[in-house]
Structures are given as C-alpha cells and as structure tokens.
Amino acid sequence: MKPRVFLLLVFLVILSFRAFCSDPSPEVSSEGLESFISKTLFIDGFAVTESSLGGIPLVVTIPLKRAGKLFMIEATIDKETGNFLFDTGSQHLLLNSIYFRKYMTGNVISAGGSTGAVGKVTQTRIRQLDISGIKNDNIAADIADLGHLENRRGVKIFGLFGFAMMKNMEVVIDAPHSQLRIYRLDRNGRRLSTTDTEFRTDLTQKAELYNDVIFLQATIAGKALCFCFDTGAESNVLSNWLPKKIMSTVTITSQSNMNGVGTASEDVLYGKLNDFTLSSHSMPGMPVIITSLENMSEAFDHNLDGMLGFDFLNQGIISVNLMTKEFRMAFTKGAKP
C-alpha cells in the first residue's frame, strides 16, 4: 500500500474531522489507472498585493471557518462550493467519495486504520488548483469515503487540504483571527511582498519537512521528541510507548475507549502536559491525548512521538516557510492552553 494512502486513512480513524459542503458534479475522464477531474479547484481569498509580472498575487489571505476545534477553507469546483478541512497532517489532497463518487473509476486500493478496516481509496488528479490567482496544475488527490466522520459530528466534509497544496510558499496560520496567509517567495525563501509587515516572533526553530508534513523537535523531561504539526488534530497527542520518565510529567485526568471505523477499539488517556518545551520556550498545561501512534509512524515512515493540534495552534500566530523549513511562532497575549 502506498504510504500516502495509508497515512490519510489512519489519521482519519484517530481523529474526528467535520466540514460543511455541497455536492459537486464535475466532468471526469479516465487516464490509464487513474481517473482525472478535468476541472479547476478554486479557493477564494483576498489578494493583498500583486506582482508586476502577470498579475500573480504575492500574498493571499484566506478566511478560516471554525467548526469546533477544526478550521475550514471554502473551495469551489464546477460551480459547487463547499469546505475543506485545513489539515497539515495530510500528505495529499483528499476528496470525499460521497460527493465525488463518479470519479471512483480508477486505481482502487484497500486500506486499514489503527482500529480496523477503513475502506477503499481511489487515486485521481485535479487539472488545476487556483488559490485566488496562485495556480498549480495537475494536482494529485485521493478519494475516500468520509461518511463515518460526518456522522460523528453531523456535518459534511468536502475534503482535506494541507501543505502539499502550498509548496515553496510561506504559510502564516493566524488562528486567533481565523485567517490563513500564503506568501510567494524568491529563490532564497524570502517574501516577495514588501507591503505586508512581519509579525513579532517569540520562537524560531528549524523544522523537518517530510512528504509535505512538518515535524518539530520538542523536549519533555529533558528528552528530545519528534512531533507532527497537525492542524487537523483536535487535541495534542502523545505516544503511549514513551518511557515512564516522560509519562510521569503528564497529569492524567480521565480515560475512555476510542472506537474506530472497523470493529476494534482501544483505550485512550486524557491529561495535561506539565513539562513541554519548544525551542527553549516552556508551554505547560496543554491538554493531551495518550494513545498508540505505531500505525501513524509506519504510515509516515518516520518516528513519531506525538502530534501538535488545536490546543497548540490556538496559542498564537504560526509561520511555516516551506522553502527554508523554518517554523516561527508569536504567542497571543492572554492565550491559554
């Protein structure tokens, strides 16, 4: 099974995602083993400034909609508009087969999740992604049934949208103001825009970009750990295979059973991180879920000790430069974990 397919579906089983959407019906043609959506996926935003060559925006601001602890981006395909979950834990664009069922005519792959069988995935491509004038052609995408996720929250999901759609850009996630800003960069990774001011940075560190997913090194109990930066996670997550010295720093508050898409289930612990440090900045008191991340590590093909989700994201403004691999954060005054 291809890693990107397994990763997307394992991630969906572990965490709940919800978004509002409509039912699109664009045309589709077949190319070899993959179907091809011969339409443009358009994301509406505000072009703050434009270049002198071709009128391509240098920076675009996209409104983020809130659905609980999830962030949504509105998109349009074939005159139908719906919402994508902004999910930096996804390696590729993922479409909901409930609304893209007619495209499931290509390469179908069976897949499983952390707590049981998930279903089948079809691989496809979208002719063009247009983010208010910033365009990318021939975008790889997966199609899978996300109905079980919709049922858990009672809302609809158009699909998932992550960093793979923003290659070689700087992405600023302003959760407190519900905005996403995308900057075009020069060959050295600097912003081309000269009119938009930089935000004050409280911490800066190098990040690892692997398969279009950001990994950060953080410290708990003096030990360096690897965390996935994941805007689609409703809470921070810590692996249950970590040493007792690390686990002893977590205050356990409750325990419950997590049901997956299949018949299996597993116990999860809820608690608070009392000793979490990122780039020498202490961030105590953040909520955390403790569960197995074995399947996630296998899917990422990367050691994974934890995931940083909404409770981390909501503490300030975050910049991820996908060219220089630099992660920066400015904490919002009065932000609480």
pLDDT tens by residue, 51-81: 655 678 899 999 998 888 889 898 888 777 8
153 and 33 part of one domain: yes
279 and 161 part of one domain: no
Pair 248, 258: CB distance under 8 Å = no
160 and 216 part of one domain: no
Which of 153, 169, 185 delimits the end of a domain? Answer: 169
219 and 112 part of one domain: no
Q: Which pLDDT does position 108 carry in this prediction? A: 54
Query: What is the CATH classification number for the domain harbouring 301?
Result: 2.40.70.10
Q: Is residue 233 scored above 80 in pLDDT?
A: yes
Per the structure, the count of domains in the chain is 2
- Asked if residue 189 is part of any domain, the answer here is no
Give the mean model confidence (pLDDT) for residues 203-223: 95
- Asked if residue 216 is part of any domain, the answer here is yes
User: pLDDT by residue (tens digit) across 133-171?
Assistant: 888 888 888 888 888 777 776 677 888 889 988 989 999
Q: Is residue 24 scored above 50 in pLDDT?
A: no
Tokens encoding 111: 């897949």
* Neighbour-count burial for 224-245, b at 16+ CB within 10 Å, e otherwise: ebbbbbbbbbbbbbbbbebeee
- Overall size of the chain counted in residues: 337
- Asked if residue 181 is part of any domain, the answer here is no
Q: Is residue 119 scored above 80 in pLDDT?
A: no
Q: Which pLDDT does position 51 carry in this prediction? A: 65
88 and 137 part of one domain: yes
* Neighbour-count burial for 272-294, b at 16+ CB within 10 Å, e otherwise: bbbebbbbeeebeebbbbbbbbe
Question: Band of the pLDDT at 82, cuts 50, 70, 90?
Answer: confident
143 and 23 part of one domain: yes
Residue from 142, 192, 175 nearest 323 by CA: 192
Tokens encoding 134: 């910033």
Q: Is residue 208 scored above 90 in pLDDT?
A: yes
Question: Band of the pLDDT at 330, cuts 50, 70, 90?
Answer: very high
155 and 231 part of one domain: no
- Asked if residue 35 is part of any domain, the answer here is yes
Query: What is the CATH classification number for the domain harbouring 103?
Result: 2.40.70
- Rounding to the nearest 10 degrees, give the CA dihedral for residues 232, 237, 240, 241: 80
- Asked if residue 251 is part of any domain, the answer here is yes
Report the chain's mean pLDDT, rounded to a whole number.
80
Q: Is residue 111 scored above 80 in pLDDT?
A: no
- Asked if residue 32 is part of any domain, the answer here is yes
* Residue entry with tokens 């923003």: 166
Q: Which pLDDT does position 23 carry in this prediction? A: 38
Q: Is residue 20 scored above 60 in pLDDT?
A: no
Question: Who has greater pLDDT, 295 or 19?
Answer: 295
91 and 231 part of one domain: no
Burial classification of residue 187, based on how many CB atoms lie within 10 Å of its CB (0-12 exposed, 13-18 middle, 19 or more buried): exposed
Q: Which pLDDT does position 261 carry in this prediction? A: 41
Tokens encoding 185: 């960069």
What sign does the CA torsion over 150, 154, 159, 162 have? negative
Question: Band of the pLDDT at 42, cuts 50, 70, 90?
Answer: very high
- Asked if residue 131 is part of any domain, the answer here is yes
Structural domain span for residue 137: 3-47+62-169
